[in-house]
């Protein structure tokens, strides 16, 4: 039986792209066994399906492959890249949100892609400041300007081969970026053109779109994967790749990097090799997660 990927699901019907024939999309129902096991197919799921009517492009989902990750809001599976979008200004960057999204990515085995948008509005060196904050993480950083097509070409290259969702605070330009991608780099041939229609960006439900050179982008009404309540505060430093060179070098084992003397992370910050604002946000997050932990396990 053929294998495919669910592009969207509406009213118990799922649009499945045949991975052996990328011009064919089948409208599929699911077997009752999935409902019995309380397993709901999600956009992004890899599935095995049975073709019931080739002419009508109708089928039946027989099996859902193990998921790399999954989310409730939005309901989607197997995301392997999250484009974290912030604007130079209008609105002012919410760096705590950016940090939380980066942590959430690593906890779910997702590659963060940092996008600094609206660089054409920079008047005081904000682009360089933001870049310097996140360069030590080692994650790719793309700077976008609506006046520089080559900046979008660089983004396109980073999307190839990944299933990418977009996240960031309201007003940073996510819809504009998605529209640019939709207008220039979608694969739209055969059934893809007929079954998957999309006008200018108005997000109503979760949907995957295949890019021309491979990979998918997720069009979603909201991505709220930045809740960190399940992360143990004692493991928080492991989600900061810009800390990695000094982890284990602190004077005290199990150092929280807050008040302890001989802390290698604090020393890195004092030397200017770690952004002070990012460090301070780490301390704030540590306190929040410790409070959650204490309340959860308080006897």
- Residue 99's region, left for phi above 0, alpha for psi from -120 to 50, else beta, is alpha
**Calpha distance 187→166 (Å, rounded):** 19
Q: 177 with 166: CB under 8 angstroms?
A: yes
- Residue 254's region, left for phi above 0, alpha for psi from -120 to 50, else beta, is left
- Residue 121 has which token pair? 């509005």
Cα distances (angstroms) measured from residue 240 to each of 84, 102, 105, 251: 16, 9, 11, 19
pLDDT (tens place) for every residue of the chain, 299 residues total: 999 999 999 989 999 999 998 889 999 999 877 877 778 999 999 999 999 999 999 999 999 999 999 988 888 999 999 999 999 988 999 999 999 999 999 999 999 999 999 999 998 899 999 999 999 999 999 999 988 888 999 999 999 999 999 999 888 989 889 988 888 888 754 454 445 444 444 446 789 999 988 899 998 766 654 678 889 999 999 999 999 989 999 999 999 999 999 999 999 999 999 999 999 999 999 999 999 999 988 75
Give the per-residue pLDDT at 33.
Answer: 73
Q: 22 with 210: CB under 8 angstroms?
A: yes
In the chain, count H helices and then E strands: 8, 13
CATH 2.40.160.20 fits domain 3-66: no
Q: 219 with 166: CB under 8 angstroms?
A: no
Place of tokens 């999204």: 101
Q: What share of the chain is helix, strand, coil (3-state, %, to 5)?
A: 35, 25, 45
Q: Let me know if 7 is exposed, middle or buried by CB neighbors in 10 A (0-12, 13-18, 19+).
A: buried
Give the per-residue pLDDT at 48.
Answer: 97
- The partner residues of 112 in beta bridges, in order of sequence, read 82
pTM of this structure? 0.89
CATH superfamily of 76-219: P-loop containing nucleotide triphosphate hydrolases (3.40.50.300)
Enumerate the domain spans of the chain: 3-66, 76-219, 233-297
Pick the CATH number of 233-297 from 1.10.40.50, 1.10.1200.10, 3.40.50.1970, 3.30.379.10: 1.10.40.50
Query: Residue 206's closest CA among 219, 223, 222, 192?
Result: 219
In degrees, rounded to 5, the angle at the alpha carbon of residue 276 between the alpha carbons of residues 274 and 281 is: 110
Residues in contact with 6: Cβ distance below 8 Å, sequence separation at least 6, in sequence order? 14, 15, 16, 41, 42, 43, 44, 45, 47, 61, 208
**Calpha distance 115→27 (Å, rounded):** 35
């Amino acid at each position: 039986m053929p294998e495919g990927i669910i592009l969207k699901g509406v009213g118990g019907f799922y649009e499945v792209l045949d991975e052996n024939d990328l011009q064919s999309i089948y409208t599929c129902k699911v077997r009752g066994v999935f409902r019995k096991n309380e397993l709901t197919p999600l956009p992004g799921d890899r599935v095995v399906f049975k073709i019931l009517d080739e002419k009508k492009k109708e089928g039946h989902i027989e099996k859902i492959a193990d998921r790399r990750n999954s989310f409730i809001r939005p309901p989607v599976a197997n995301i392997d890249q999250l484009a974290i979008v912030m604007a130079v200004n209008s609105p002012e960057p919410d760096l705590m949100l950016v940090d939380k999204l980066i942590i959430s990515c690593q906890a779910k085995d997702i590659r963060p892609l940092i996008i600094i948008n609206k660089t054409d509005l920079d008047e005081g060196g904000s682009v360089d400041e933001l870049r310097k904050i996140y360069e030590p993480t080692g994650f790719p950083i793309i700077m976008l300007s609506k006046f520089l097509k080559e900046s979008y070409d660089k983004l396109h290259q980073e999307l190839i081969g990944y299933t990418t969702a977009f996240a960031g605070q309201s007003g940073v330009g996510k819809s504009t970026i998605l529209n640019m991608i939709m207008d220039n780099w979608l694969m739209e041939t055969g059934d893809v053109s007929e079954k998957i229609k999309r006008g200018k960006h108005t997000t109503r439900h979760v949907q995957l779109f295949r890019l021309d050179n491979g990979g998918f982008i997720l069009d979603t009404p909201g991505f709220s994967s930045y809740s960190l309540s399940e992360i143990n505060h004692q493991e928080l430093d492991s989600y900061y790749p810009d800390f990695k060179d000094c982890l284990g070098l602190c004077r005290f084992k199990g150092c929280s990097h807050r008040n302890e003397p001989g802390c290698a992370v604090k020393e890195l910050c004092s030397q200017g090799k770690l952004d002070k604002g990012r460090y301070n946000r780490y301390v704030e997050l540590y306190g929040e997660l410790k409070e959650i932990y204490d309340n959860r396990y308080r006897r």
